Chain A
Amino acid sequence: MSRHGEGNAVGWGVAQVAMLAVAVLTIYPLYFIVITAFKTRHEYLTNQFLPPRDPTLENFRQAFRDGQLLTWVGNSLLITIASVIVAAIVSSLAAYPLARSRFPGRLPFIGLNIVLMVVPPVVLVVPLFIFFVNLGLVNSRLAVVIIYVGLLIPFSIYLLVNFFATIPRSLEEAARMDGAGQLRTLWSVIMPLSAPAVVTVVVVNAVWVWNELLIALVFLQDDNARTLTAGLTFFQGRFIQNEPLVMTGALIATVPMLLLYIVGQRFFIRGLTAGFGK
């Protein structure tokens, strides 16, 4: 990083104070969620800003007892893991020939994926709902996984094609000379080298699926089928007057992604900045 010019201590001080203010502001909601989740409702009413004087776990007990949070956590985990794994496999398989072989339709297909990355899900929801209702897949986690995989593919392919293209061809040619077929080359040569790119795709996609609301809301209307993110909005509707309890739900919804972020921050940032080279 370039060093700041000399003799501008005032500007420097202002920058430090401003950054501190920005940091306090941006961390505040997370801070609010965490401190509120461990407060009694009584304490929340008298103490909104400071950590709890007398931390309680009662909200967690109640959240798991009265709400269906545990079921929702299970649904979210299942749907997230399934969608992310299927999307990673399917996209890797497709991205490899797209980056390597030459065949009719290759560039149009890559172009299609780029365009589809920005199609808003809300325009797809109406026909997809009719489609899956006609198939009898209502309140079906399978239907939701299919939709998520479809929505994740364009970004995943785009990122992986860009990455595969940077792997030197000579490595594959060596494998081919040793008698490996295309699939074998993909599995034994390309995939090990592509681990960072695949992990990036998995992390970014996992966060996206876990946090998704609209599709979860529309396709999983049964209380037992909801994801945690969609369930949280119902949880709040039901317990709106109990701020600490709702914030406990918010905390439970946030912790897995926060852990993922802490572990995979590097990959996450790489994924978000991918394709913005210039």
Chain B
Amino acid sequence: MASETHGAELAVPRRRKRIGGRWRPILTAYLLIFPAFAFIAVVFIYSLIRLGYISVHSGNNGDEGPANLTAYRFIVDDPIFRQAVRHNLLLLLSVPFVTVVALGISFVLQEGIRGWKTYRTIVFVPYMLAIPVLGTTFVYVLSLNGAVNTFLGKLGLDALQQDWLGDPNWVLTSIAAIIVYHELGFGVVLFTARLLSLPEEVDQAARIDGCTWWQLRRRVTLPQMRGVITAFVTLELITMLSWVFAYVYSTTRGGPNFASYVLEFYIFDNAFTFRSPTFAAAAAILLLLATTALITIQVRRTNVEVNVE
């Protein structure tokens, strides 16, 4: 964060000392970066290259036979794969929802509602909970005799009671709700931080000019927040595509009858349940391409902030 300032500017004349020749600082730099690079090389670079290799070879290690695209051809026709992709795409629909709700909450907090700091802390709590903790908890809260149904019963709304995670028609919506629940706090914290950094004079000027609340938000505040909103939306889109494994694993494991099956589960099951790494790798490559497409859009639309001159 660029907000750190250090008052201790020392007035020292700039003088260069070159001990050990002009290559020495460069060598030191490479030496300092090497450990980090080594980890990245194993965990990311090697893995991604190997992933591509596995996806076009057969065998338990994905290193047998001549290279071919059989796995790709198979999975794009696999009804389970298609269903998984469809579910990920449906999850994307919750992104506008979580964004609008998070914006609404942060507007209200920014108005200086009494106890706004406490509210911000509370809204953030679900984001602190491990996703599997949230998942195991919601298994009970959303069960047939769980808190949600009991509550609906007490309100006399028995007709609305559902087997939220057991009914194929409801399970994906329920999981989306849990994800929204978790991500909402992140959005609120992000948006509130941005709102707090906006110059207050602009708001005041707009109010003096007779702006209504809605006009102020729409014409003054939102345009100033475009960058952070785009970043949040992009991150959430990526989450819905490729980071929902923990939610599904800790609630339904993809069931009932594949009704909550997602791409990550397809990769996971192929790799570790069916022991066919080739199919898992091919699906992983397709997922990676989709994620990369989203990142490219993000990088183009907002400048990722790096202060390296």
Contacts and interface: CB of A to CB of B under 8 A. Distances in A.
B300 interface: no
Interface residues of A, number: 117
A98 B28 CA distance: 11
A273 B32 contact: no
B43 A147 contact: yes
Nearest to B242: A120
A125 B2 contact: no
Nearest to A91: B36
A116 B106 CA distance: 30
A245 to B, nearest CB: 11
A130 interface: yes
A61 to B, nearest CB: 20
A272 interface: yes
* B8, B40, B133, B231 — most chain A CB neighbours (10 Å): B133
B123 A110 contact: no
Given A173-B12, A250-B137, A276-B193, A233 B29 contact: no
B122 A27 contact: yes
Contacts of B170: none
Interface stretch (B47-55, B78-86, B156-164): B47-55
A84 interface: no
B1 interface: yes
A192 B131 CA distance: 34
A193 interface: yes
Contacts of A128: 43, 47
A93 B112 contact: no
Nearest to A89: B35
A273 B9 CA distance: 27
A196 B1 CA distance: 10
A221 B227 CA distance: 42
A278 B44 contact: no
A7 B277 CA distance: 65
Contact of A122 (B15, B61, B151, B264): B264
Given A126-B280, A254-B129, A96 B32 contact: yes
A189 to B, nearest CB: 11
A177 B204 CA distance: 50
Contact of A170 (B9, B105, B245): B9
A153 interface: yes
A247 interface: yes
* B200, B241, B307 — most chain A CB neighbours (10 Å): B307
Contacts of B10: 168, 170-171, 174
A122 B280 CA distance: 10
Contacts of B25: 101, 103, 182
Interface in A115-173: 115-116, 118-120, 122-131, 134, 146-147, 149-151, 153-154, 157-158, 161-163, 165-168, 170-171, 173
Nearest to A246: B136
A250 B133 contact: yes
Nearest to A111: B306
A5 B133 contact: no
Contacts of B132: 211, 213, 229-230, 232-233, 253
B250 interface: yes
Given A97-B29, A103-B30, A32 B137 contact: yes
Given A32-B137, A214-B246, A2 B123 contact: no
B12 A30 contact: no
Interface of B: 1-2, 4-6, 8-12, 14-15, 17, 25-26, 28-30, 32-33, 35-37, 39-40, 42-44, 46-48, 50-51, 54, 61-62, 105, 108-114, 116, 118-119, 121-126, 128-141, 146-147, 150-151, 181, 184-186, 189-190, 193-194, 196, 200, 203-204, 207, 213, 227-228, 231-232, 235, 238, 241-243, 245-246, 249-250, 264, 267-268, 271-272, 277, 280-281, 284-285, 287-288, 291, 295, 302-309
19 contacts: A18-B108, A32-B140, A49-B151, A90-B39, A93-B32, A96-B32, A98-B33, A101-B25, A120-B287, A122-B264, A146-B42, A171-B8, A174-B10, A182-B25, A182-B32, A214-B268, A247-B136, A253-B132, A272-B190
The 7 closest A-B pairs by CB, nearest first: A150-B43, A97-B29, A120-B242, A211-B130, A278-B227, A94-B36, A127-B50
